[in-house]
């Protein structure tokens, strides 16, 4: 399962072409994500881009081109972490119009939400939007069965297996921050909290026992 941030960051700089010509990459986003009726880069494509990113990352999708459709997928959260989805209103809160992107963080005064997305100043970019225009934050799950990491993981471990563990911890509301593939103190602390809740040894190590615990959790 690829990290949605890695998928989206790799596309930064893709920009609409003014005039009659279209950026073929933007048209590819639409085609690959199943929007066969979108054949140019003039149609608002913020939701198209997020659908494409989620397709590449194996996450839930809306299969819809309107931004507010993202309010109906995933789990709502008021403690967003980088990689969560953020939905904004446009013109007014009750309008059908909106914008959707990937949450990157808040400004120090919490008045601005930094967002990675498509159709932001006609490009894939990171832009700041007013926090007062946020409709909601959503945490997405894997579209397929959750892929459990392989043991053993502990402080100092790195790589894709750590990313899987961090994704699961965040999804279970044990917030370990950005999914960066680095098993640090925060990941260990949240793993210990999960171990405590499940009445297991609180050693902050993901081993065979904790894999069995996660298998049980996702079968509940």
Q: What's residue 40's pLDDT?
A: 93
Q: What's residue 209's pLDDT?
A: 94
Q: How far apart are CA 128 and CA 144, in angstroms?
A: 32
Q: What's residue 1's pLDDT?
A: 40
Q: How far apart are CA 14 and CA 96, in angstroms?
A: 27
Q: What's residue 219's pLDDT?
A: 54
Q: How far apart are CA 18 and CA 40, in angstroms?
A: 11
Of 62, 142, 46, 135, the C-alpha closest to 95 is 135
CA dihedral 191, 114, 83, 66 (to 10 degrees): 140
Q: What's residue 2's pLDDT?
A: 57
Q: What contacts 167, CB < 8 A, 6 or more positions away?
A: 1, 179
Q: What's residue 95's pLDDT?
A: 92
Which domains, ranges and CATH numbers included, belong to the chain? Answer: 4-139 (3.90.1720.10), 160-217 (1.10.101)
> Do 170 and 80 contact (CB within 8 A), yes or no?
no
pLDDT in tens, 32-83: 999 988 999 989 999 999 999 999 998 889 999 999 999 988 888 999 999 9
The stretches in the chain having pLDDT less than 50 are 1, 220
């Amino acid at each position: 399962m690829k990290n949605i941030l890695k998928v989206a960051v790799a596309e930064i700089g893709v920009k609409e072409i003014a005039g009659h010509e279209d950026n073929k990459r933007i048209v590819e986003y639409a085609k690959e994500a199943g929007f066969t009726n979108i054949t140019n880069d003039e149609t608002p494509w913020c939701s198209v881009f997020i659908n494409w990113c989620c397709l590449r990352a194996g996450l839930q999708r809306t299969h819809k081109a309107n931004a507010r459709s993202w309010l109906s997928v995933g789990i709502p959260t008021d403690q967003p972490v980088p990689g969560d989805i953020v939905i904004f209103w446009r013109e007014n809160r009750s309008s059908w119009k909106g914008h959707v992107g990937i949450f990157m963080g808040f400004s120090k005064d919490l008045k601005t939400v930094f967002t990675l997305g498509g159709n932001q100043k006609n490009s894939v970019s990171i832009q700041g939007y007013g926090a007062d225009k946020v409709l909601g934050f959503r945490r997405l799950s894997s579209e397929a069965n959750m892929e459990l990491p392989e043991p053993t993981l502990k402080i100092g471990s790195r790589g894709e297996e750590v990313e899987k563990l961090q994704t699961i911890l965040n999804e279970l509301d044990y917030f370990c921050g950005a999914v960066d593939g680095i098993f640090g103190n925060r990941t260990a602390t949240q793993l210990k909290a999960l171990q405590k809740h499940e009445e297991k040894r609180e050693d902050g190590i993901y081993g065979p026992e904790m894999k069995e615990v996660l298998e049980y959790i996702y079968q509940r």
